[in-house]
Amino acid sequence: MIQGIQWLKKWKIAMGSLFLFTAIALATIGGDPFEPEVSDFSQLAWTEAFSLLHQRLEEEYAFTEWKGIQWNTLWERSYARIERAQEKGDFESYYLALREYLHVIPDGHVSCTNLIEIDEKHVGGGFGFSIAKVADGQLIITWVDAKSAAWEAGIRPRAEILEWNGESAKPAFDRVSTAFAGNSATDEDLDLKRTWYFVRAPVGAVVTMAFANEADAEPKTVCLRAYEDEGVTFKRSYPSAILSDGVRDAFIDKPNPDPLPESMVETALLEDKILYIRVWGELDADLANAGSAPSTLDLFRKAIKRAIETPTRGIIVDLRNNVGGLDEMAAQILGSFYPEPTFYEYQLGYNKNTKRFERMMADAENDTEALYIRPAPDQYTGRVIALVNSRCVSSGEGIAMGIRNLPNGDTLGFFGTNGSFGLSGSVAVMPGSLTVHWPCGQSLGEDGRVQLDSRDGVGGVAPTIRIPMTVENAIRVANGIDVELEAAVRLLMAE
């Protein structure tokens, strides 16, 4: 467990060790009506715990109206399943019902603990290849394990999947469950996750697939059996093929063989002319286990000073897979690019006493309801490109928003950010060591409307420079080539 972390989004608390994930912090703040709560339902019957969880969500979830959540429908769909599971003493069915109940909510801040043993029973097998959904909607095979039955059957990269178990590929793809992944706030993130799980199944499951290689005159049909592959198809898909998610996994104690970065900010000089700054999150963390957590803000500002003192063609701020953190820090990071105070957000939080959502004090240090980007001592005025993807969540999205709004700034990527920018913090501990998280507040723009959080499948910060997921790009990604970074470097070198 990583030590010495201060965070998280909207909640200014120092923690000795990280207990919760992405924009969650809990502390004892006497009398604070906006303090997020932890409910311990772990010793209750499954039905009773679920009833109390549902009651809290219906009352406290921050985006019921904004996202059109129909709580009665969700209750009717899920309670009977949990009741049947309890009657049979079937823990797996209870777990699946709870996951699927929560997974319907299109919000990356809504989550439930994964139980790997159960998950693996359902999606632990692969078929020896990975896929991508390319810009024209085709499902293209991007990588094939040369030792697999798929390879022996003649399947090669660039092949198009035409049918899956006797059904046309598109409707089969649209029905793929992503319940074992995190919730998707946007349609494009949901489609991305479907590419991961389309080719997952229980070990031993058989699929019949019609496909056409580039050189084939006629489609071919093969039968393949899912086998234990240690999740290799995930590792050959975007973004895992090119980006580690080790920081996020470390925060939730999920095994990940990738080495952790030494700090939350990493820098490199590319082509001797472009300063690359990777920001893993807006929080302080002792990733190197050195005994103290270096200041993420100080590290970022040192990088900016280097860019000012070293002639560069521009800066690339890599926000892909950014785990989020403190909005105050996100605004402070943006201060290196803004010469004048600039509005960042209002905050609307759930007041436990009034049981209503009310405006909060977003900037306690300056005693203002609004949080502002305030100019930093060193100002960078050159070209800035932020790399984004749908694993850039929460306060990371705030930095992307700020860079997008600069006259000299752009966002670049295959996909936009996650579309989950709310005030997270509410928690319920359920039977079976399952912990449920959800947002209990909103980030508002200067007009008082919800900003960045998704609605009807659209949200987050879209790329101002969108890299198309062509067949060629998808295959290059599967082979570990960072197409997005290449495009950003090429763009800056050409200017």
Asked whether residue 88 carries a pLDDT value surpassing 50, the answer given is yes
Domain boundary, last residue among 214, 235, 256: 235
pLDDT digits (tens, 9 = 90+) for 95-119: 999 999 999 999 999 999 999 999 9
Asked whether residue 24 carries a pLDDT value surpassing 80, the answer given is no
pLDDT digits (tens, 9 = 90+) for 178-230: 999 999 999 999 999 999 999 999 999 999 999 999 988 899 999 999 999 99
Instruction: Please state, rounded to an integer, the average pLDDT across all residues of the chain.
Output: 93
Domain boundary, last residue among 213, 235, 257: 235
pLDDT digits (tens, 9 = 90+) for 30-54: 478 898 889 999 999 999 999 999 9
461 with 396, same domain: the answer is yes
Please give the residue that has the higher pLDDT: either 162 or 16. 162
- Please count the structural domains in the chain: 2
Asked whether residue 171 carries a pLDDT value surpassing 70, the answer given is yes
Average pLDDT score over residue span 121-129: 98
Residue 216 confidence (pLDDT): 84
333 with 479, same domain: the answer is yes
Asked whether residue 284 carries a pLDDT value surpassing 50, the answer given is yes
225 with 352, same domain: the answer is no
Whether 80 is in a domain gets the answer no
Domain boundary, last residue among 190, 213, 235: 235
Residue 167 confidence (pLDDT): 97
pLDDT digits (tens, 9 = 90+) for 400-459: 999 999 999 999 999 999 999 999 889 999 999 999 999 999 999 999 999 999 999 999
267 with 223, same domain: the answer is no
Indicate which CATH number applies to the domain containing 261: 3.90.226.10
pTM score, whole prediction: 0.93
Q: Look at 8-22, 38-52, 328-342 and tell me which has the smallest mean pLDDT.
A: 8-22
SS3 for the chain is CCEEEEECCCCCEEEEECCCCCCCCCCCCCCCCCCCCEEECCCCCHHHHHHHHHHHHHHHCCCHHHHCCCHHHHHHHHHHHHHHHHHHCCHHHHHHHHHHHHHCCCCCCCEECCCHHHHHHHHCEECCEEEEECCCCCEEEEEECCCCHHHHCCCCCCCEEEEECCEEHHHHHHCCCCCCCCCCCCHHHHHHHHHHHCCEECCCCEEEEEEECCCCCCCEEEEEECEECCCHHHHCCCCCCCCCCHHHHHHCCCCCCCCCCCCCEEEEEECCCEEEEEECCECECCCCCCCCCCCHHHHHHHHHHHHHHCCCCEEEEECCCCCCECHHHHHHHHCCCCCCCEEEEEEEEEECCCCEEEECCCECCCCECCEEECCCCCCCCCCEEEECCCCCCCHHHHHHHHHHCCCCEEEEECCCCCCCCCEEEEEEEECCCEEEEEEEEEEECCCCCECCCCECCECCCCCCEECCCCHHHHHHHHCCCCHHHHHHHHHHHHC
178 with 261, same domain: the answer is no
The residue segments making up the domain with residue 140 are 122-235
